[in-house]
Amino acid sequence: MGVLVLHGYTGNPEEMRALAEAAANAGYSVELPRLPGHGTSVEDLMTTTWDDWSKAAAATYEELAVRCDKVAIIGLSMGAGLALHVAEHHREVAGLVLINPFCKPPAPELVTGLNDLVAAGVETSESIGSDIKHGQRTAQYNATPLRPAQTLFDGITHVYNSLGLVSAPILLLASREDHVVPSDNSDAVEDLTKGTVERVWLENSYHVATLDNDAALIESLSVRFLEGVLT
């Protein structure tokens, strides 16, 4: 039985490592890939797109599925959007753990603002890695590249439009207060996917919840869910 674990935009495997280790300690074969352009430098990320990240996620899933009878996917933020993308194309996915998922197109004014900044020659904006309630920063990049974000928005639009193809059971973990991804993204998962959805509110964490005050809760709930869908 296998588990694919996917980190978020501008993040790296560190933000998911404890969760991946919890799954491995429960006896599963775990893959935690570093998505293209991540975990090195902002300049590297600027040369990548949604197509690169989604292909890497799908390829890792397919490699894991070759050696495992069942595979579940865990994702944070963009990683959750990628998990949904894989599940839309692989209906045999056993289950999904989605943590503060980014899976709904941003508001039109946000897209317009992003496009205007890029057109004006602005390359980066403020980092999203500091959205942690207990205040400790992560090893995420200290800036958010904007051109790759344009492709992220386009990719998420395709994910959103195909949510009805997802029939795998879902554990949906959503921070009550998230300054990066609006809660209507989690609403979309509940409303548009076809499988069972168990939604749990995280009361003491912000967006990067896997490194925040609810990390232990996320790990225990995720392992319990994996036991249910992978046995």
What amino acid positions are annotated as catalytic residues? Answer: 77, 178, 207
DSSP annotation of 211 reads: G
146-161 and 78-89 helices, crossing angle to 10°: 40
Instruction: Compute the half-sphere exposure of residue 60: CA atoms within 13 Å on the CB side of its CA.
Output: 24
